[in-house]
Amino acid sequence: MAYVKILNEVRQHDDQDWCLCFQECTYHYSPTCSEEGYRFIWRRPDGSLQPARGQARIPSVICIFELLCKAYREGWLSKKSLEEGISMLNDVLNKTCSSIGTRPSSE
């Protein structure tokens, strides 16, 4: 089991309610093994974390992008990371659209 140190965090909102968070973390697996990474995790109304064995229900894709944008504006998610993600999404959308000949309809 890993010990997780939160380096940075953005929250979906500041209400006293359940809140989806995006965190930059260091995962310490042993005294000699650690890795940097990111996670989505819920905070309870009392501010404590709700770990869910690696799973956090994310209400919508928009929530993901909102949290990524907040992290970028706070300065801890790099422009390069966002650009690489956008490029990947564009590649997927272009391949999907070209394979069927039309753009997918928005829902």
Q: Tell me if 86 is assigned to some domain.
A: no
* Structure token digits, residue 107: 């829902």
**Average pLDDT across the chain, whole number:** 89
CB atoms within 10 A of CB 4: 17
Q: Tell me if 92 is assigned to some domain.
A: no
pTM to 2 decimal places: 0.82
**Neighbouring C-alpha atoms within 13 Å toward the C-beta of 76:** 16
Number of domains in the chain: 1
Q: Tell me if 66 is assigned to some domain.
A: no
Per-residue pLDDT tens digits for 51-61: 887 789 999 99
* Structure token digits, residue 16: 């006293």
pLDDT at 98 over 70: no
Enclosing domain of residue 33: 3-56
Q: Tell me if 33 is assigned to some domain.
A: yes
pLDDT grade, residue 97 (50/70/90)? low
CB atoms within 10 A of CB 2: 13
Q: Tell me if 18 is assigned to some domain.
A: yes
Share of the chain above pLDDT 90, in %: 72
Per-residue pLDDT tens digits for 3-36: 899 999 999 998 889 999 999 999 999 989 999 9
Section 51-80 average pLDDT: 92
Q: Tell me if 68 is assigned to some domain.
A: no
